[in-house]
Amino acid sequence: MKRISGKWKGTFFLLVLSAFLVWGGSREVSAASKCKVVFANAQGVVSTQTYRNWARTVEAGDWIKLPKYSQSGYRCYWVLKNGNKTYKYNPGANYRITKNTKFCLYRYKLYNVCFYTENGKKEYLSMREQAIKGQYITLPSVPHGTSNKGLGWSTTVRGKTYKKAGTKVKVTGNMRFYPITQKITGVNLRAYNGKLWKVVPTGSGKNPVFPSVNLGSGNMCLGWSRTKGQTSKPEYLAGDRIPSKSGNYYMVVFGKHMDKAPAGVRKPENHDVVYFVGDSRTMGMARALGSSAPANVKFIYKVGEGLDWFKKTGYNTLRSNVCKQSKNSRIAVVINLGANDLRNYSGYTKYMQAVARDLKKYRKNCDMYYMSVNPVNSAMIRSYLGWTSRTENQVKNINNTLKSALCSGSRRTYTYIDTCSFLQRYGWISREGHDGLCDGVHYSDATSLRIYDYCMKILNR
């Protein structure tokens, strides 16, 4: 091996030394600079040992937690001044340090904003707010009963002027507010036991309607009656116009304990095979029947679907099943679609008429039935979903359309099965989910079995 000459040794040494200086120098240049953080009183003076103890030196870019400080009756802020701008930070807040920084501790006196009863004798303690002078607070909702409504808040007992709830008010010191309410004149809506539930104003020129009710117990409010204590046959349904300007109307309540399944499972008498076609409500009927379903009763359904599914898939399945039956078989087809198309059902009538005519080509002894879209409780739906996906009036509108276009007149193509009116009149119960809540759309097993039984009565006439 050749020995390295002295000249090359020197060159090699210079290269290593250069690399060391370059890398060493870069570390020294990139070293973070130090920043001093000082804490002082409102005058900017480090006046006590406590302020001195809070001081620190940190690397630029580090985050620090501002010292915690509180004083009864005051709201405290660490104030940072930057030119003409002033910034306030809560004690304990995190702040990123980028340069030498000085925080000053400011204490602002807190004032009580209190809300009292109309006569001024009792404070609503849960409403009390504390704020500093110059701060804005938002006036809360006005407490009121079932027979009066809140108008706003006054600064004097039974004052003539008031500010509405939701108004922002500037705090000037300790402040007191008193509610201003107005008695409602109108119709008294009462619970099943006669207790006042709500007063509906009727003097505004508007035409109020009966509301839907979620009792929260699983019992079903079927509607309203002039007679107290009714459990069936309501005179008025949710969405119906209230017919008078005054008077009392009572909830008609069908209890869960009243939701009894029929004693037995009714079988088809006039048909060799019956097909039920629908959505999740039809699935609920099939599930409730279970193994007790007659062998000649078939179910075709798709959860959450409607007319689009029926056009693409459901009708082909139905027609294929119908065509497998012998030509002499008496067949009944019960369509129960529409609950998922309440906002857009314009295509139903023409298509369903075509379906009935088409099936008749394959089997002349095929009787077509259309089951009504069955009831919903929009108040339950709203509680369950947080919004109203279906309303009672939407159900009413689609049923009127289907009955008129498909099941009426000399050219009718279907026989109408009005299970909706049956349930509204004699009661139904919504199915409870795993969370124990009722969704207001689907039915208990007992109600589903009652729907099936009612349909079979119509088919067996």
pLDDT digits (tens, 9 = 90+) for 218-274: 999 999 999 999 999 999 999 999 999 999 999 999 999 999 999 999 999 999 999
pLDDT for the residue numbered 3: 46
Split at pLDDT 50, 70, 90, the class of 23 is very low
Domain shared by 324 and 435, yes or no = yes
107 or 31: whose pLDDT is higher? 107
Q: Give the CA-trace dihedral at 297, 439, 309, 316, to 10 degrees.
A: 0
Domain shared by 251 and 178, yes or no = no
Q: What does the DSSP 8-state code read for residue 210?
A: P
Q: How far apart are CA 388 and CA 221, in angstroms?
A: 17
Q: Is the dihedral of CA 325, 328, 330, 333 positive or negative?
A: positive
pLDDT for the residue numbered 102: 96
pTM above 0.85, yes or no: no
Domain shared by 95 and 150, yes or no = no
Residue 20 lies in a domain: no
Split at pLDDT 50, 70, 90, the class of 354 is very high
pLDDT for the residue numbered 291: 97
Q: How far apart are CA 426 and CA 118, in angstroms?
A: 45
Residue where one domain finishes, among candidates 225, 258, 291: 258
Domain shared by 333 and 428, yes or no = yes
Residue where one domain finishes, among candidates 136, 156, 183: 183
Residue 15 lies in a domain: no
Residue 6 pLDDT > 70, yes or no?
no
Domain at 191, CATH number = 2.60.40
Residue 264 lies in a domain: no
Q: CA 239 → CA 206, 213, 251, 384, distances in Å?
A: 14, 11, 14, 20
Long-range contacts of 161-169 (CB under 8 A, 24+ apart): 163/139, 164/139, 165/139, 165/140, 165/141, 166/138, 166/139, 167/138, 167/139, 168/136, 168/137, 168/138, 168/139, 169/136, 169/137, 169/138, 169/139
Domain shared by 214 and 318, yes or no = no
Strand partners, 98: none
Residue 14 lies in a domain: no
pLDDT for the residue numbered 103: 97
Q: How far apart are CA 36 and CA 287, in angstroms?
A: 74
What is the mean pLDDT of the segment spanning 371-398? 97
pLDDT for the residue numbered 205: 67
Q: What angle do CA 132, 137, 138 make, to 5 degrees?
A: 170
Domain shared by 306 and 454, yes or no = yes
Q: How far apart are CA 354 and CA 349, in angstroms?
A: 9
Domain shared by 405 and 367, yes or no = yes
Domain shared by 177 and 191, yes or no = no
Residue where one domain finishes, among candidates 61, 80, 108: 108
Count of structural domains, the chain: 4
Residue 437 lies in a domain: yes
CB under 8 Å to 98, separation ≥6 — which residues? 35, 60, 61
Residue 27 lies in a domain: no
What type of residue sits at position 387?
A: W
Token pair listed for 213: 């009710």
For the stretch 99-109, what's the b/e string if a residue is b when 16 or more beta carbons lie within 10 angstroms of its beta carbon?
eebebbbebee
* C-alpha closest to that of 391 among 207, 211, 190: 211
Domain shared by 321 and 371, yes or no = yes
Token pair listed for 23: 């890398």
Domain shared by 399 and 453, yes or no = yes
Percentages (nearest 5) of helix, strand, coil residues in the chain: 30, 30, 40
Token pair listed for 120: 């001024």
Split at pLDDT 50, 70, 90, the class of 148 is confident
Split at pLDDT 50, 70, 90, the class of 19 is very low
Q: How far apart are CA 157 and CA 160, in angstroms?
A: 9
Residue 64 lies in a domain: yes
Residue 205 lies in a domain: yes
CB under 8 Å to 189, separation ≥6 — which residues? 196, 197, 198, 199, 200, 210, 211, 224, 249, 251
The domain of 81 spans 34-108
Domain shared by 442 and 391, yes or no = yes
pLDDT in tens, 151-191: 999 999 999 999 999 999 999 999 999 999 998 889 999 99
Domain shared by 328 and 412, yes or no = yes
